[in-house]
């Protein structure tokens, strides 16, 4: 049995296929009002999430992004975040 690696070649040109949008997709008009904070600053178990959102090519996302936050058994929070600064 031949176990040597082989290089496969084709006579056809290889073309890029169109990229696909990741899902699931949500209608932004169906989301609840955006919130900046869901708990008070004195909440003992509160966490802060900070970061940047980039598109698939690594460029800063200039449009709205959907951030989904799940908690341990509580209702999930869907927040529409507007980018306020550019990296």
**Residue 81: what pLDDT?**
44
**Residue 5: what pLDDT?**
65
pTM, entire model = 0.37
Instruction: Report mean pLDDT in 10-residue bins for the chain, 87 residues.
Output: 65 71 61 62 71 81 67 50 43
Question: If DSSP codes are grouped into helix, strand and coil, which group holds residue 30?
Answer: helix
Q: Are 61 and 51 in contact (CB under 8 A)?
A: no
In the chain, where the domains are located: 25-87
CA atoms within 13 A on the CB side of 82: 5
């Amino acid at each position: 049995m031949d176990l040597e690696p082989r290089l496969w070649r084709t006579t056809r040109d290889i073309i890029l296929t169109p990229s696909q949008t990741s899902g699931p997709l949500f209608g932004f008009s169906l989301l609840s009002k955006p919130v900046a904070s869901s708990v008070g600053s004195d909440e003992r178990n509160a966490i802060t999430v900070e970061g940047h959102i980039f598109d698939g090519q690594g460029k800063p996302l200039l449009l709205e992004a959907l951030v989904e936050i799940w908690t341990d058994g509580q209702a999930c929070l869907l927040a529409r975040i507007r980018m306020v600064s550019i990296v």
